[in-house]
Every structure is written in C-alpha cells, then in structure tokens.
Amino acid sequence: MYIQALGNISPQTDFNQLPQKVDYTSNHLKAIDADITEFVNPNIARRMGRIIKMGVAAAMASMKEAGLEKPDAITMGTAYGCLEDTGVFLKKLVEQNETMLTPTNFIQSTHNTVSGQIALLLKTHCYNNTFVHRGFSFESALQDAIMLMNENDAAHVLVGAADEITDASHKILSRFDLYKNNVANSEELFSQHTKGTIAGEGSVFFMMNKKSSEKDYAILKDVTTFYKPIGNHAITDRINKLLSSNGLSINDIDVVINGKNGDVQNDRVYEQLEENIFSGKTSITYKQWCGEFPTSSAYALWLAANIAKHQQLPADKTNRSIKHILVYNHYQNIHHSLQLVTAC
C-alpha cells in the first residue's frame, strides 16, 4: 500500500521543523488549532467540535495533496471519539434534569462523526468505517484498507486517526496516575524515570494507493497487532515473524521508531528490546512531539513516511540512506502494534 499524501493536525505538524527539545507548559500537549475555513463554510463549521475540525482538516489536507476529489473508501480509528460533544451533552443531561436537550451535541458525539463529516464534505457515499478498538483503533483502520485493496474493492483509501483530550477527560485520566506532574521539557520526560507520561492528541490522515505514483512518500508493507504479549520473547517472535513474512530480517531495518512515552514501566518494554533484538539499531522516539494517546501510532506512521521520503531523521539534517523503518508501539503494555515502512 503506497502512502501518497499526508495530513496532520497535532501538537507538532512540520517534519522539517521538529525541535530536538520540546518545552512543555503543562502535562497536556494540545494539537494546533485546525483551520478548516479553506474546506468548510462557517455555517457548517459552527457545529464541529475540536476533534471533528482536526479530523476534517487532516483528511482534506491529504486529499488536496493527493489531488483527488473522492476516495474509494474511508477508514479511520479513534479510541475516545468525540469527547468534547459527549461531555457537553452529558453535562446538560444532568444539569437540566434530562429535559430541554438539544440535538447538536448529541449528533456530534458519536465515534463515527469525524469520518461521516469527511464523507459529507467530499459528497461521497463510499465505504466508510470507523474502528474503536482502544490502542488498536488506527491499526484496525489500516488493516481494513489493506484488505479492501487486496480484494480489489478500493484503489484509493483515505485512512486516518483522531483523538482528543478534553479538560474533563484529562482530569479523569490523571486520577489513574497516567501523567507526570512536573515535566518541563522533552528531555525531562525521558530522564526522570518516574511513573507517568504526557497527554497528547491529534489527527493524521493518509491517502493510501494500491498503485505507485510519483508523489509517494513510502510504502506501508505490513501492519500487525498483538494483545498482551507474555514477556519480551513473545514480542521478539512477533517482530521476527512480521519481518520474515516480508522477506526481511532485523538486519534490514535501518530505523526503529519506538513508542517510549517517559513512563518508567511503559518504557522498560522498549529498553529490553533495545538490549536484544534492536541492539545497535538507530532508534528514535516520537511521543515527545505528539504526547501519549491510543491512536498516536498514526503520528509514528506520519513520521516514518517523512523519514523515508526525506531520507533524514527528524530534527537532524544529515542525509542518510534509509530503506526500511519499523514502527513498534504499545499502549499501556496491552495493545502492541508493528508497522513496516519501506522507502520508494
């Protein structure tokens, strides 16, 4: 599957401007404000919450870059869905004693609102599926796109992910000690070796093609997911299996993008792999730029596609020869995924 075009609305969106060190003002990394005025008239945009704007802006940017009017299918993943509208609706439900409820927030609160809005704006009735599988949401959307192409049901698939953090959800998730309380910058995120990470959000969309084009960023060769692997060996087996099924070995991998997020327990999984199968590999992290959230692996794929196209690592202008990139991420050591990306 060829990655032809990208759209990204996240805390950091310009591959060429990714900073070595990111300064944080809180433990919640917010996505940039999505400007959808180019794509949507204000009368329609007024009902869209932040996540819808993020998703629409990312999707439309990738459509524009691809130069396509309509895809053959839309698949996307979201773990949290449209939290902001859900929160507003539930708040009104309680405060107004279940009376005088208006439809706007309710109809914008379902998980498939983002992909529905994209379809409405593109005026397409094509296949449209939103996957809500926590840390597997984006990978499920990718796998669906691969199957659609393999079965010749689609040649151009708009694939993406979107998740938002609201003040309310951040407060609730903080009760589980998921986030660090004092983290001033990305260096501290990884050097503190304490519990917790930094919350993130964002939306990334990809125009995936069955056939190659001149504009392609990279090839997404394979995607796999595995649930609660027992020990390091189980993960290593999965990595070797994925690589061998694509005619590769770990020696062929030039860059590993890992999902370290600064949480000491979370990162131990990656560190153990770095001591073994990933030993000696160029390994980079990405969550210092986008934060931790269940569909952050879409951001990792965006990064991998850019690395493959530019033949440079982020925040490093050195020209390199990079052929194969392996993205390995896990969400809370429950949902593990691998994405294999190859330069064109």
Partner 1 sequence: MEKLMADLKAQIIQQLNLKHLKPEDIGDDQPLFVEGLGLDSIDALELIVLLQQEYNIKLANAEDGPKVFQSVRTMAEYITANKPA
Beta carbon nearer to partner 1, 50 or 260: 50
Neighbours of 316 (CB within 10 A): 12
Beta carbon nearer to partner 1, 37 or 249: 37
H-helix or E-strand containing 172? helix 167-174
Beta carbon nearer to partner 1, 95 or 214: 95
Rg over alpha carbons for the chain, rounded to the nearest Å, is: 19
x-or-dash pattern for partner 1, window 47-86, by CB under 8 A? Answer: x---------------------------------------
Considering the complex, what minimum distance in angstroms separates the CB of residue 117 from partner 1?
Answer: 14
Beta carbon nearer to partner 1, 45 or 68: 45
**Rounded to an integer, what distance in angstroms lies between the CA atom of residue 178 and that of residue 170?**
10
**Rounded to an integer, what distance in angstroms lies between the CA atom of residue 338 and that of residue 239?**
7
* Residue/partner pairs of 192-195 with CB below 8 Å, 24 or more apart: 192/262, 193/264, 194/264, 195/263, 195/264, 195/265
Here the tokens at position 154 are: 């689609």
Beta carbon nearer to partner 1, 20 or 102: 102
If binding is defined by CB under 8 A, does position 102 make contact with partner 1?
Answer: yes
If binding is defined by CB under 8 A, does position 97 make contact with partner 1?
Answer: no
Question: Which residue in this structure is represented by tokens 């999505």?
Answer: 34
The 10 Å CB-count burial string (b at 16+, else e) for 175-194 is eeebbbeebeebebbeeeeb
DSSP string, 90-116: HHHHHHTTT-S--HHHHHT-STTHHHH
If binding is defined by CB under 8 A, does position 25 make contact with partner 1?
Answer: no
Here the tokens at position 235 are: 């993960």
Pick from 100, 123, 152, 317 the residue near partner 1 by CB under 8 A.
100
Beta carbon nearer to partner 1, 164 or 263: 164
Beta carbon nearer to partner 1, 48 or 76: 48
If binding is defined by CB under 8 A, does position 46 make contact with partner 1?
Answer: yes
Beta 2-9 vs 218-227: how paired, if at all? Answer: antiparallel
Considering the complex, what minimum distance in angstroms separates the CB of residue 101 from partner 1?
Answer: 8
| CB-facing half-sphere around the CA of 133: CA atoms within 13 A | 21
| CB-facing half-sphere around the CA of 322: CA atoms within 13 A | 30
Beta carbon nearer to partner 1, 107 or 168: 107
Pick from 103, 125, 214, 227 the residue near partner 1 by CB under 8 A.
103
If binding is defined by CB under 8 A, does position 94 make contact with partner 1?
Answer: no
Residues 6 or more apart from 190 whose CB is under 8 A from it? 260, 262, 267, 285, 288
Stretch that binds partner 1, among 98-106, 148-156, 223-231, 277-285 (CB under 8 A): 98-106
Beta carbon nearer to partner 1, 40 or 146: 40
Residues 6 or more apart from 111 whose CB is under 8 A from it? 78, 81, 82, 130, 132
DSSP label of 38: T
Pick from 14, 17, 25, 43 the residue near partner 1 by CB under 8 A.
43
Considering the complex, what minimum distance in angstroms separates the CB of residue 100 from partner 1?
Answer: 5
x-or-dash pattern for partner 1, window 104-143, by CB under 8 A? Answer: x--x------------------------------------
Stretch that binds partner 1, among 21-29, 42-50, 173-181, 200-208 (CB under 8 A): 42-50
Considering the complex, what minimum distance in angstroms separates the CB of residue 138 from partner 1?
Answer: 30
Neighbours of 226 (CB within 10 A): 17
Size of the site for partner 1 (CB under 8 A): 10
User: Given the rule CB under 8 A, which residues bind partner 1?
Assistant: 42-43, 46-47, 100-104, 107
